[in-house]
Amino acid sequence: MSKAANEIKTALAAPFPACEVEWRIQHVIKDKLRGLAVPYVQSRAIQSRLDDVVGAYNWKAEYKPWHNVGNSASQLCGLAIYCEERGEWIQKWDGAENTDIEPVKGGISDSFKRAAVQWGVGRYLYGLAATWVKVEERGKTYIIPDEEQKRLDSVYEKAVNAPPSNVSRLPAPAPAQTVAAPPFEYAVRAVEQRQFASGNGMVLRLISADGKKNVEAFLQRADDSIAEGVFLKNVKLTLHNNGSYKCSIMESYEVA
């Protein structure tokens, strides 16, 4: 790779300033007072980054439908950048499901963001751990209060300005006592009752404390103490593989 290409790669992958980074609530626990916040950037910030680095006339996006299963449609985005050294357009593709609000527009926007990640734009955000914050309920959604937004901006700036070995993971600052979540390994996102050969059981969809891991686990018994929003600790998951199907069995746990 030439020096010019390396410079473009580095510039595309550079962290965004905190003012261009937004946070969304990924999961709200049962008390509806706390949630996991994850960072992201809007399409406009990515468009500006491309304009600044390669020039407004040297990149283009192409969209087309991806798949449509039942009521779930999706979009593909091919983001192309002109390579002067090779004298050709180089295109990278990625896709996303349509969203609940403004479905097609949301799917197009998300597919563009994912295609940009293929070029390194905002890729580092996937290495930042989610952070627990206080949330406020607004209708059917949840928002992050202003005071929490300021704390998240500070945490983000510390992360991206840290030495390289520490950048890949967002540090977890000590939150206010009213926001702190109890020690736990997983939060239960969804519970489905299931009939196994051995009797009644449950299928659990879990999210790890840092918000980076989603797990589907089977509990081979019924437990009324487990419900959506419940915290679990001392979780022991065993991978079961019968040759044609792999699944995680939750052998033991405690409700936090």
For residue 121, pLDDT over 80 is answered with: yes
What average pLDDT does this structure show over 78-85? 94
Q: What is the pLDDT of residue 64?
A: 92
* Percent of the chain residues past pLDDT 90, beyond the cut: 43
The residue ranges of every structural domain in the chain are 3-167, 186-255
Tell me the C-alpha distance between 106 and 108, whole Å: 5
Q: What is the pLDDT of residue 73?
A: 80
The string of pLDDT tens digits covering residues 44-63 is: 999 999 999 999 999 999 99
For residue 20, pLDDT over 60 is answered with: yes
Tell me the C-alpha distance between 40 and 16, whole Å: 10
CATH architecture, domain defined by 3-167? 2-Layer Sandwich (3.30)
Tell me the C-alpha distance between 114 and 132, whole Å: 25
What average pLDDT does this structure show over 210-229? 85
User: Structure pTM?
Assistant: 0.65
Per the model's pLDDT, the better-predicted residue between 182 and 17 turns out to be 17
The string of pLDDT tens digits covering residues 160-196 is: 886 543 333 333 333 443 444 447 888 888 888 888 7
C-alpha dist (Å) from residue 32 to 28, 115, 177, 184, 220: 6, 34, 16, 17, 29
What average pLDDT does this structure show over 25-45? 87
Among 82-96, 134-148, 167-181, 239-253, the minimum mean pLDDT is found in 167-181
HEC secondary structure over the chain: CCHHHHHHHHHHHCCCCHHHEEEEEEEECCCCCEEEEEEEECHHHHHHHHHHHHCCCCEEEEEEEEEEECCEEEEEEEEEEEECCCCEEEEEEEEEECCCCCHHHHHHHHHHHHHHHHCCCCHHHHHCCCEEEECEEECCEEECCHHHHHHHHHHHHHHHCCCHHHHCCCCCCCCCCCCCCCCCCEEEEEEEEEEECCEEEEEEEEEECCCCCEEEEEECCCCCCCCCCCEEEEEEEEEEECCCCEEEEEEEEEEC
